[in-house]
Structure 1
């Protein structure tokens, strides 16, 4: 299993779950390494196993991918079942897009597309809820690349919402977090997504490729600053706002 970075200051590595051979932990990985964590990278879709316990890890991040949390593939079902490990052990867990949808499935919620086929592919407004505002400051615009949304799991707190898909960020218990949007993309990653995902830009409500890159120039600095603070909350237990 590849290890990126070096754990410093007694910090344990973070388990990183990716879903394609060339997928990257992007800015999340870069920031976690800068904060002193090594990355234990695993790709269950390629046959790599997930640990039976997170006792040796600071937590886990499950990233997105082109597949659906509803797909019948064995690795999808295995990952969803595995999420009982961080939940049972109360270890920090962050699910991004597919990773959030898998958490919703583990918690008994539904993942599905809108009946009218509306997607979120590009930059869209984000509105924090009252609980979200009490937690931290949120960016006004965030980046999306999905055509399915998810229910808010029973017992979870909604932290941020959107217009097309209302559930954008949630917290379940003390340490499980789900994000529908992507804050992890480096510029190179976004350029790859725009090239390889061009066929999706004709879908309802999707933005054209140049709008993705233009939006990055306008909105990405705030999204990047938010991500660094958010990772501190998830993995360091820090509060972004004073009580």
Structure 2
């Protein structure tokens, strides 16, 4: 998750999509073979993803001690990464079969490039406001500069409207996004929009009970990628 601007809901989006993936993966693999989703906090300034996990663990330790119980485990494997060899570390994790989610800070283009060289997809969360919108085109411009350096066959790209206030605002934002492109193609703007961001942000330091809209986001991404694979098979066949 990345957007070359702070405050664009990257951290909320990173963690909620990671929670969705963790739940899906655990159901699929079973507990014995399960490797928890790895979340890398590669934001050199705020480190909110790391603080989210730490806040939960600290509160859970106090609760468990007071009740003489074992503390609940945090379902995500969160690491505050030291950044210099982020690309190599992501490659190692992928080789181990790990799902990796990286929360990339708004001002660090170098880390953005490193993560993208190994990414399956780039999700750009966007509050449909002028201030966030102004950094969308530069974000995709930087993504395009490393696309051909990808270690496999490139990455998918998506824009997520993640702080919807009104239908009118959403339509206006989509109209503006339609003017932009990535490598000569229109930007893929997800149909699913996040409307309950205030409620989601209240879950900082907790395991969120409601993943509904972000589950819909993940499902739409998976449907789009499955449809693209089928279309490619049809062309090859």
Sort the TM-score into its range (normalised by shorter chain).
0.3 to 0.5
- Larger-gyration structure (1/2): 2
Normalized per residue, the structure richer in strand is 1
TM-score by length of 1: 0.38
TM-score, normalised via structure 2 length: 0.39
